[in-house]
Structure 1
């Protein structure tokens, strides 16, 4: 989902600012935050692809296909 990837650039800019101004702990935290944001964006992208391909989504929504849908 490229519409959400702008936040990664913002976090990188904030980290650069923090490093340039001696805010090392903040820079490290922003680096961790960027990793979390990237993982969540990738997860949302994979979920959107699964829904587009007719597979079950996060909340049990089934958008097509043939056969039975079984639940535990």
Structure 2
């Protein structure tokens, strides 16, 4: 199963957030699941641009959450 279990955990947390009227948390968990999916997929090929943080999709996801700034 590897690291895919975290996607299920995030989905459960998102369901909890929605059921408890925590829409901002639910939205953040959805974005977090996307980031986790990208990073897990990148582990398949450590030489891919995604694994190196150069994938445009990763930058846009991280930028939209405010954590995509580079030093």
Q: TM-score range by the shorter chain?
A: 0.5 to 0.7
Aligned to 2:10: 11
Aligned to 1:40: 39
Structure 1 unpaired stretches of 5+: 51-57, 59-72
Equivalences for residues 40-59 of structure 1 within 5 A = 40-47=39-46
- Runs of 4+ in structure 1 deviating by more than 4 angstroms, as ranges, are none
TM-score normalised over the length of structure 1: 0.62
Aligned to 2:24: 25
TM-score normalised over the length of structure 2: 0.63
Displacement after TM superposition at 1:21 (Å): 0.3
Deviations 1:16-35 (A, max 9, x none): 00000000000000000000
Structure 2 unpaired stretches of 5+: 53-71
Deviations 1:28-69 (A, max 9, x none): 00000000000000001122xx6xxxxxxx7xxxxxxxxxxx
Larger Cα Rg: Structure 1 or Structure 2?
1
